Amino acid sequence: MTHYLKLFTALAVLSLSSLFCNAQNTGKETIFIDYFMKTPDIPIVFVKNIREQVIVGIQNRGRLMVLDGERYPKLAPGPVSAYESVSDNIANRENEIKKTGARFVLGGMVTDYRFDRKKNGNRQSFSSYMTVMIWGYDLKTNQKFDQQIYKISGYGATMDEADARAMG
């Protein structure tokens, strides 16, 4: 009988802690992290890594609940111009995105990949450069947030090392 009482108590504690965690999250707004776009010179793996870094950064701040837009294949933007406006980018998907419960949409684009190789005697070093544009949209107020542009770079003894440091 004592074994069942301990089991029941443990289940009750777990259930209450689960309810408490869910209640804490209900006060947070939700952000939908959209698919990131890229120019043809950017490898898709770079875009995936940079997008993941953005998601982790937002989650670490703890202010918003994050929805990964790539988990909603029906909401994929389809073929779009890399330079179309934020409003045009989500206009035909806005109602469906709202159904996820998201208040905000965040998207991005990675462009301008280039690298340099320098040789100093027998040693080589590499530099990697990219531009990341991030934009946001409030679905409740239909307000666009100013686009932020980040120039990222990394350096290393190999090209892969320089790329990884740029994305990190």
Give residue-wise pLDDT tens across range 21-77: 333 455 899 999 999 989 998 999 999 999 999 999 999 999 999 999 999 888 887
- What kind and span of H or E run contains 34? strand 29-38
What pLDDT is stored for residue 31 in this prediction?
96
Higher pLDDT among residues 106 and 80, named by residue: 106
What's the chain's length in residues? 168
What tokens were used for 86? Answer: 């934020």
The residue with tokens 């999250």 is: 25
* Crossing angle of helices 44-61 and 159-167, rounded to 10°: 30
Per 3-state DSSP, what percentage of the chain is helix, strand, and coil (rounded to 5)?
Answer: 40, 35, 25
What pLDDT is stored for residue 8 in this prediction?
36
Model confidence band, residue 92 (pLDDT cutoffs 50, 70, 90) = confident
The residue with tokens 């933007």 is: 77
What pLDDT is stored for residue 100 in this prediction?
93
What pLDDT is stored for residue 94 in this prediction?
84
Enter the pTM of the model: 0.74
User: Radius of gyration of the chain from Cα atoms?
Assistant: 22
- Is the Cβ–Cβ distance between 120 and 136 less than 8 Å? no
Q: Which residues make beta-bridge pairs with 154?
A: 128
104-155: pLDDT as tens digits: 999 999 999 998 999 988 899 999 999 999 999 999 998 988 899 999 999 9
Q: From residue 84, how far is each of 32, 45, 75, 79, 93 by CA, in Å?
A: 19, 23, 17, 11, 15
CB atoms within 10 A of CB 166: 23
Is 78 strand, coil or helix? coil
